[in-house]
Amino acid sequence: MNKLISNIAKASAGVALMVAVVACNKTETKSGETKTTPTEAGVTGGIVYVNSDSLLNNYEYFKEIKTKFEDKSKKAEADLKDKGAAFQREVAAYQQAANTLSADQRAQTEQRLARKQQELQVYQQNAGSALQNEEAGENEKLYDKVAEYLKKHAKDKGYKMVLTYSKGNSAILFADESLDVTKEVIKGLNEAYKSDKK
């Protein structure tokens, strides 16, 4: 469970930001048709990138999700620890009293403890699965929010493509800093999230 929650940033970065957006501003030709060309920003070929590490560290929606999952993980761990400790106390009590019990009583107690141990394992698996499913749902929402915003932002700015960059996990080995639109994207996402919350 710890691994599940500690990896949310990496998973979300991978899932949420593998976004390539093809969108341009429209300009009219002599024939009256519209064609798409990159306008604003003076970006070479209309290609820009977003640093996914910075985006996730500064996007309020993601920070709230991360905090929520950390809290849920701690609560689930504490609950599991309490149940495990209670089970260990039962086992210790049985071990102390085993000599005073009849063979039937010992067999019944051992069967009951074995069932409890299985129930505890099932509970642990179910708790992990529930968190994993919820995480997948939140990742999807995060992806949708970022992708939807980037489509609009790319169209407004005349970008043909928005790539993602992440230190140590990127196909981009070098990109000129003038192509980095991370700050403006973070600002826009946070403003959009703030208005969504109202």
Per the structure block, which two tokens stand in for 9?
A: 């940033």
Indicate whether 39 belongs to any domain.
yes
Indicate whether 28 belongs to any domain.
no
pLDDT greater at residue 20 or residue 53? 53
Indicate whether 27 belongs to any domain.
no
Indicate whether 122 belongs to any domain.
yes
- 30-64 per-position pLDDT tens digit: 444 434 333 344 455 688 999 999 999 999 999 99
Indicate whether 85 belongs to any domain.
yes
CA distance 151 to 191: 16
Give the mean pLDDT of the chain: 79
Q: pTM for the complete prediction?
A: 0.65
> What does the H/E/C string look like for 13-56?
HHHHCCCCCCCCEEEECCCCCEEEECCHHHCHHHEEEEEHHHHH
Residue 120 corresponds to which amino acid? L
Residue 193 corresponds to which amino acid? Y
**Contact indicator for 53, 167 with CB cutoff of 8 Å:** yes
Residues present in the chain in total: 198
Q: Helices 60-97 and 103-157: crossing angle, nearest 10°?
A: 170
Domain tally, the chain: 1
- 120-146 per-position pLDDT tens digit: 999 999 999 999 999 999 999 999 999
Indicate whether 172 belongs to any domain.
yes
pLDDT value for 46: 86
pLDDT value for 4: 37
Indicate whether 167 belongs to any domain.
yes
Indicate whether 103 belongs to any domain.
yes
Instruction: Tell me the CB-side half-sphere exposure of residue 149, using CA atoms within 13 A.
Output: 23
**Contact indicator for 66, 59 with CB cutoff of 8 Å:** no
Domain containing 173 equals: 2-21+33-197
- pLDDT of residue 76 exceeding 80, the answer is yes
50 forms beta bridges with 164
**Contact indicator for 62, 12 with CB cutoff of 8 Å:** yes
pLDDT greater at residue 21 or residue 170? 170
pLDDT value for 45: 63
Q: What's the average model confidence in pLDDT over 160-188?
A: 86
Q: What's the average model confidence in pLDDT over 84-104?
A: 94
